[in-house]
Amino acid sequence: MTDALGSIDMPDAEDDTREKKARKGGKRGKKGPLGRLALFYRQIVAELRKVVWPTRNQLTTYTSVVIVFVVIMIGLVTVIDYGFQEAIKFVFG
């Protein structure tokens, strides 16, 4: 049975005197630079397998939305730029 301070059977003072095992580095400590690089790429592939990829139809829809949005923003910036250009010509002649 335990409480907030520690085990009833083993007081806190004895917990401090026990030595903890030193960790040797696990898998990473045993491999050289090429082994760590291979592990890194294996982890990348494992994470990419977890990704939920869009279907072709979703991808087409998303791409169309982005292209339309970019064209609208280009038009808006062009109109604002032309307005500023005319305002500067009016003010400075």
pLDDT tens profile 13-47: 555 555 566 655 555 556 788 999 999 999 999 99
79 φ/ψ angles, rounded to the nearest 5 degrees: -65, -45
More confidently predicted of 57 and 5: 57
Place of tokens 């890194």: 40
More confidently predicted of 66 and 32: 66
Q: Which residues pair with 7 in a beta bridge?
A: 2
Percent of the chain residues topping a pLDDT of 90: 63
pTM of the model: 0.50
- The encoded tokens of residue 29 equal 């400590």
d(CA 1, CA 9): 8
Q: Which residues pair with 2 in a beta bridge?
A: 7
Q: Using the Cα atoms of residue 61, residue 64, residue 69 and residue 70 in order, give the sign of their dihedral.
A: positive
Residue 27 has a pLDDT of: 54
Q: Does the pLDDT of residue 92 top 70, yes or no?
A: yes
